[in-house]
């Protein structure tokens, strides 16, 4: 028995050595000297919440394809990189099911299979499409009611008083109102902007309270899907809106320019008011730069190679290799985004057609491919009126670090 155990252990050891030093991954530079043999380095970075910084540093030093584990790679390039991984039928890594475990029924974001995801996505794609939102009179109505009828009055009262406001929580409340109104209708949506106590009671035990309500009233699959949409709609978007409000609060001249642009070209509540937002280049620049620097979905988002593939200059990446990219690193490419750590909306206004095209190639706030964020257009059109409402209202004293 002892001999058998030793033989098995020896075979396992030889296999690890082969994967570490003699596989098709061995020519790829290592983020740390231990990664060919162990995942401890990247796991430690994740535990310390420093994964994205560590990966970015590795890419800056070693290049666009870096090994971060025995069978795991980090990628920071578009061609032979992001387009290969996220533009084809790569399944998600099992990490998704583990990270978002606790629910019997899978929902779109946690589905491992690309085929299952595509089938589910078809059910919702139309109502989240750009053309549908632009032509929707319901969106115009809810934007007018929530932004002009609720949020703007609240923001004016904040600016006129000395009260301390948790902008992150109020941003999430606003986005929850918009998201719930879009999903369930304005009449059945939340009003957390005005009902602060109700919002606090809802968000504090969020998963327990919200989940319990839905499990009692809707089928399990539908309830989990809508829960996912609600979480994504208010949480990630609310974080980005908070950064946006902070940045424009520091720049009174930018607020004045935004106000002039908005008053000249856009009126909330008008027919096709979502479509009119695209005629506001300064607002677009502010949104794009905020999403670039303060993306709430930093990643990384792991995928599994379905067959032998090429990444960058490395060919024969074996089937089963876990590969991922992150918007955090992609958006820090100083060749595409000079001074990447600075919030500079002007980069989008001053860019030539060629430069803007290149920036859009590297822009990854919502992912890409068939599994990119289904609510990306709703998120953009939700952020825009909040920015409009805040123009001329905020000051540096309104949003503090």
Q: Which residues line the annotated binding site for heme?
A: 373
Annotated binding site: 373
Q: Which helix (H) or strand (E) holds 86?
A: helix 83-86
Q: 391 by DSSP, 3-state: which?
A: coil
- Sort strands 309-311 and 314-317 into parallel, antiparallel or unpaired: antiparallel
3-state secondary structure 180-244: HHHHHCHHHCCCCCCCHHHHHHHHCCHHHHHHHHHHHHCCHHHHHHHHHHHHHHHHHHHHHHHHH
Q: At residue 286, what are phi and psi to the nearest 5 degrees?
A: -65, -45
- Asked if 243 and 265 touch (Cβ cutoff 8 Å), the reply is no
Radius of gyration over every alpha carbon of the chain, rounded to an integer in angstroms: 23
| Alpha carbon distance 82, 311 (integer Å) | 9
Residue with tokens 């990490």: 95
List helix spans (H) across 205-352: 206-217, 220-231, 237-249, 252-265, 273-276, 281-293, 327-330, 346-350
| Alpha carbon distance 177, 198 (integer Å) | 12
| Alpha carbon distance 94, 82 (integer Å) | 19
């Amino acid at each position: 028995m002892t001999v058998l155990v030793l033989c098995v252990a020896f075979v396992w050891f030889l296999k690890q050595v082969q994967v570490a030093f003699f596989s098709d991954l061995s020519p790829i530079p290592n983020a740390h000297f231990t990664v060919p043999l162990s995942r401890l380095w990247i796991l430690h970075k994740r535990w310390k919440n420093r994964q994205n910084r560590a990966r970015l540093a590795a890419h800056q030093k070693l290049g666009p394809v870096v090994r971060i584990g025995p069978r795991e790679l980090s990628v920071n390039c578009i061609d032979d990189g992001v387009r290969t991984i996220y533009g084809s039928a790569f399944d998600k890594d099992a990490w998704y099911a583990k990270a978002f475990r606790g629910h019997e029924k899978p929902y779109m974001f946690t589905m491992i299979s690309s085929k299952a995801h595509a089938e589910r996505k078809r059910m919702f794609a139309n109502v989240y499409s750009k053309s549908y939102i632009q032509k929707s009179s319901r969106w115009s109505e809810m934007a007018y009611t929530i932004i002009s009828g609720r949020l703007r009055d609240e923001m004016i009262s904040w600016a006129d008083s000395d009260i301390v406001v948790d902008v992150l929580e109020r941003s999430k409340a606003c986005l929850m109102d918009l998201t719930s109104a879009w999903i369930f209708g304005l009449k059945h949506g939340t009003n957390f902007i005005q009902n602060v106590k109700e919002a606090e009671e809802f968000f504090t035990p969020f998963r327990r309270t919200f989940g319990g309500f839905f499990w009692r009233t809707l089928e399990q699959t539908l309830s989990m899907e809508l829960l996912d949409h609600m979480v994504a709609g208010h949480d990630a978007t609310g974080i980005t809106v908070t950064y946006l409000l902070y940045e424009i609060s520091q720049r009174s001249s930018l607020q004045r320019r935004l106000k002039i642009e908005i008053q000249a070209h856009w009126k909330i509540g008008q027919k096709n008011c979502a479509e009119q937002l695209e005629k506001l280049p300064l607002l677009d620049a502010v949104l794009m730069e905020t999403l670039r620097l303060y993306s709430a979905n930093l990643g990384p988002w792991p995928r599994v190679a379905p067959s032998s593939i090429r990444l960058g200059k490395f060919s024969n990446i074996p089937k089963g290799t876990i590969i991922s990219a992150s918007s955090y690193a992609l958006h820090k490419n100083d060749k595409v985004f000079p001074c990447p750590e600075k919030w500079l909306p002007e980069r989008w206004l001053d860019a030539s057609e060629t430069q803007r095209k290149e920036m859009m190639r590297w822009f990854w706030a919502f992912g890409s491919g068939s599994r990119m964020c289904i609510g990306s257009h709703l998120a953009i059109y939700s952020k825009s009126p909040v920015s409009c409402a805040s123009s001329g209202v905020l000051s540096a004293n309104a949003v503090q670090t």
